[in-house]
Each structure stands twice: as C-alpha cells, then as structure tokens.
C-alpha cells in the first residue's frame, strides 16, 4: 500500500512569516489536494492539482500559494501567517480526475500555530 | 448553495448501543456520497461511498449507510458500537456546480463510553 507523508507535523510561526508545508505521496496518484481543517467547520479546499505543474484554486486559496513540481509532491505556502491562527492542514491524493467517485487518501496533517 | 450538513456536532453513546450519524445534502442531482472517519491525530480514512444501486451500502468495521433521494440524506449506522469507534466522522458529497467539487460536512464527534 501507499502512504502520504506530511512535514512537518507541527509548525509554529510568527505573524507575517511565510511558512511552507510539504506533502509526498507514493501512490502514483494524479490528483493532489490541500485542505484546511478548522474545528466545527469541516474541511475546506485550498488548492488542488491534477498533474505535475498544474494548480487549481479552491474556495480558500487567498493567502496561500502552492507548487507541484513533481507528480509525487505538493507543497503549500502560507504567504503571511495571521496572528493567533490555528488550524490543521491536510494533504490528500486520488486516482484519476478530481472530485469523482474515487476515494481520497489523506496524510496525518500539519498543525499550524501562529504566535 | 450546495452544502452538506451534519446536524449533530457531538454524539455520545455507550458501548454496545446502536448508532446513527445524520447527514443531509443540498443538491438537485444525485451526488457521489462518502463517509470518512478521522481517528485522533490521524488523517481521514474512507468508511464507505455511494453513487447508484442499492441505497444501503456496507462499509468497513460494520458500518453501513442508507441513501434517501426523497430526504436528501445519507445517514451512517452501526448496530453495536465499540469504544474504538470514538472518532470524528465526516460526510462528503461530490457535486457538479460551476465545476466538480467535493463538499464536506462539519463533522460529528463520536464518543463511546464503556
């Protein structure tokens, strides 16, 4: 079976700082996603990518950049961390076209805290 | 707007009791429907999914869900819960609205006590 690895597991930043989260998958999946998980709000899509070098904005893309330089990796950058921001960022991947009947495989998440 | 609603933020049941977690979606067509589970400090894992056919679908660990078009619902059930079922459960719908998208509910925290 495959695995999705997210690094780091925990990330503490300062207000205004640029922060980068990384995600690697060895499923050989075409599509990768970044979701933000806030307590009581479910998961909200930040960016997704259907192939290497492709980027598509989700509902929550403002304040974030993404990069898919290889099929196996998808990174997310918080362009300017907001004070007291706290959330979990989940990376996921799936076979074929996005948002189809194919299941998503998720990483364990990166927990962000901004001081 | 298309949405997925899980009306119960928290559910508490005793071990061995039956369980129903509710999910309602707002969409004119029939979406792909999913239930995912998130155990503590882990990512989400698929429990089951539905698109067509028998409205009752079986999943892992004894979970099942029933699709109702008339009610726009996809409720999750289990006949007898175990303490290890304590987790956060998410309902999700893949819909076509200005492009395809996957919409998640807010999640239901399930606590099973001994």
**CATH 2.40.50.140 corresponds to the domain B3-113:** no
Structural domains counted in chain A: 1
Residue A95, Cβ density class (10 Å: 0-12 exposed, 13-18 middle, ≥19 buried): middle
Task: Report pLDDT digits (tens) over A49-96.
Answer: 999 999 999 999 999 999 999 999 999 999 999 988 889 999 999 998
Task: Report pLDDT digits (tens) over B62-71.
Answer: 999 999 999 9
- Measured CA to CA, the distance from residue A33 to residue A93 in angstroms comes to 6
Domain that holds residue A28: 4-114
| pLDDT of A12 higher than 70 | yes
Domain boundaries defined on chain B:
3-113
Chain A residues within 8 A of B42 when measuring between CB atoms: 108
pLDDT of residue A84: 81
Chain A stretch 22-41, residues whose beta carbon is closer than 8 A to a beta carbon of chain B: 40-41
**Cβ neighbours of A11 (radius 10 Å):** 17
pLDDT of residue A61: 95
In a mutational test of the B interface, the residue from A21, A42, A110 whose CB has the highest number of chain B CBs within 10 Å is A42
Residue whose C-alpha is closest to residue B44's, from A57, A85, A75, A88: A88
Chain B residues within 8 A of A5 when measuring between CB atoms: none
What average pLDDT does this structure show over A95-112? 90
Residue A112 confidence class, pLDDT cut points 50, 70, 90: very high
- Measured CA to CA, the distance from residue B107 to residue B38 in angstroms comes to 9
Nearest to A106 among B41, B43, B101 (CB): B43
Instruction: Say yes or no for a CB contact (<8 Å) between A101 and B49.
Output: yes
CATH number, domain with residue A65: 2.60.40.10
């Amino acid at each position: 079976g495959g695995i999705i690895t997210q690094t780091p597991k925990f990330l503490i930043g300062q207000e205004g700082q640029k922060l980068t989260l990384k995600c690697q998958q060895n499923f050989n999946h075409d599509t990768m996603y970044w979701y933000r998980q806030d307590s009581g709000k479910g998961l909200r899509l930040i960016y997704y990518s259907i192939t290497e070098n492709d980027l598509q904005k989700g509902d929550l893309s403002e304040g974030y950049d993404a990069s898919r330089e290889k099929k196996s990796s998808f990174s997310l950058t918080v362009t300017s961390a907001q004070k007291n921001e706290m959330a979990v960022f989940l990376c996921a991947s799936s076979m074929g076209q996005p948002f189809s009947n194919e299941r998503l495989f998720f990483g364990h998440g990166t927990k962000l805290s901004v001081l | 707007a298309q949405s997925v609603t899980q009306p119960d933020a928290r559910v508490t049941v005793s071990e061995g009791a039956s369980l129903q977690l509710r999910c309602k979606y707002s969409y004119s067509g029939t979406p792909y429907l999913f239930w995912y589970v998130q155990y503590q400090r882990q990512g989400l894992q698929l429990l089951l999914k539905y698109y067509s056919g028998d409205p009752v679908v079986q999943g892992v660990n004894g979970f099942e869900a029933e699709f109702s078009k008339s009610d726009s619902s996809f409720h999750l059930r289990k006949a007898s819960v175990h303490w290890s079922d304590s987790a956060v459960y998410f309902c999700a719908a893949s819909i076509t609205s200005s492009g395809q998208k996957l919409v998640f509910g807010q999640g239901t925290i399930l606590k099973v006590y001994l």
